[in-house]
Amino acid sequence: MHRPLRLTLDRGALAQNWRWLQERAGVPAGAAVKANGYGLGAREAAATLLAAGCRTFFVSTYAEAIELGPLGEDVSLVVLHGIGADEMEAAAQSTARPVLNSVAQVHRWKEIAPTRACDVMVDTGMNRLGLRTEEIAVLDGLAIDTVHSHLACADEDSPMNGQQLQRFREVAAELPAKCYSLANSAGICLGLDYSFGLVRPGLALYGGVPRREAEGHIRQVARIETQIVQRRTIRVGESCGYGATFVAGRDTEAAIVNLGYADGYLRGFSARGSDFAGEFALPVLGRVSMDLVALGCDIAADLKEGDWVEINYDLPTVSAASGLSQYELLTVLGSRFERRWVD
């Protein structure tokens, strides 16, 4: 079936980003493939990263672990949200390790698999998931593979980064485990002190630049192309799109393309985005609608119905233009794209 939207995904860029992050950290790097590989496709992303040498993968829930499927005997699959009350059977049957985040989850694990390896999250300031430090005595008797914590402000130059680092060092000194893990993509950029034994990159794998230290090293993974539905002239004084927010100051050539907020190209790009036809930059005219966007194409005289244009989707650039986070830009991409992985 023909689809007028294409999402081209670069395996080489994904693998190179993982290699750079591991080299930067100086310790093994896992890979977050939760949220369907940040919207790009968890199975393809995991296969690519396996081939590159990654041996630890992170998903959010047991449902995601089941959807991802087996990854190999020497590969660890870790469920970050741990064991919900309705997931005990799935956890018992799965080879994935849970990250135990609460006293209740610890008791569930002791009930179903007390001798099997598990991971643990200890809160050092994020106050989202994780045991408080005064609760870690409940872990006695468990076979803990990895102790995790999560940085709240790693993408900023915040004093909280150092505070959490010190708290995690204290946790690591008190709580025996095979491995310790604190740093996400941004945390890796903070330096080797944050690496411990394992890092957990996510955003940067898929082309996001979490901090300035990663600029020039992280390659774009996802590229979007869309077909033109119609070329039309907006006459001087006429408006275009919902709300009539664009009014032509002169006769303006417009390419109407198969793309909209239903596909994840959200209204934050209205009158701000810019896309490309070859060397020509085409501005977004007026509001983004559900299925269509108008692009100014005065400078591209040969563009016509059926031609393809590339949407500017360099994550740091379009994040600044749209006001959307780089995480949102990836995970909102819709189901109408033809997803094509290329080497």
Q: Do both 238 and 300 map to the same domain? A: yes
Q: Do both 256 and 306 map to the same domain? A: yes
Q: Do both 186 and 231 map to the same domain? A: no
State which amino acid sits at residue 210.
P
For residue 114, what pLDDT is reported? 95
| Three-state SS sequence of 12-75 | HHHHHHHHHHHHHHCCCECEECHHHHHCCCHHHHHHHHHHHCCCEEEECCHHHHHHHCCCCCCC
The CA-to-CA distance between both ends of the chain, in Å, stands at 23
Q: Do both 43 and 137 map to the same domain? A: yes
Total domain count, the chain = 2
For residue 25, what pLDDT is reported? 98
275: β partners: 282, 311
266 lies in which domain range? Answer: 222-342
Which among 110, 242, 261, 327 is annotated as catalytic? 242
For residue 21, what pLDDT is reported? 98
Range 292-302 burial, b when 16+ CB lie within 10 A, else e: bbbbbbeebee
What are 1-29's pLDDT values in tens digits? Answer: 899 999 999 999 999 999 999 999 999 99
State which amino acid sits at residue 101.
N
**340 in helix, strand or coil?**
strand
Using a pLDDT cut of 70, give the percent of the chain over it: 100
Lowest mean pLDDT among 124-128, 236-240, 268-272, 305-309: 268-272
Q: Annotated catalytic, 34?
A: yes
Q: Would you say residue 72 lies in a domain?
A: yes
Q: Would you say residue 165 lies in a domain?
A: yes
Cα–Cα distance list, 240 to 141, 166, 168, 229, 292 (Å): 66, 55, 55, 15, 12
Which among 34, 62, 265, 313 is annotated as catalytic? 34
pTM given for the model: 0.95
Q: Do both 118 and 233 map to the same domain? A: no
pLDDT at 272 over 90: no
Is residue 146 within 8 Å of 179, Cβ to Cβ? yes
289: β partners: none
What are 79-130's pLDDT values in tens digits? Answer: 999 999 999 999 999 999 999 999 999 999 999 999 999 999 999 999 999 9
What are 318-343's pLDDT values in tens digits? Answer: 999 889 999 999 999 999 999 999 99
What are 297-316's pLDDT values in tens digits? Answer: 999 999 999 999 999 999 99
Q: Would you say residue 6 lies in a domain?
A: no
What are 211-232's pLDDT values in tens digits? Answer: 999 999 999 999 999 999 999 9
Give the HSE-up count for residue 254: Cα atoms under 13 Å, Cβ half-sphere: 24
Mean pLDDT score of the chain: 96
What are 131-151's pLDDT values in tens digits? Answer: 999 999 999 999 999 999 999
Which of 158, 181, 208 is the C-terminal boundary of a domain?
208
For residue 335, what pLDDT is reported? 94
For residue 273, what pLDDT is reported? 81
Q: Would you say residue 181 lies in a domain?
A: yes
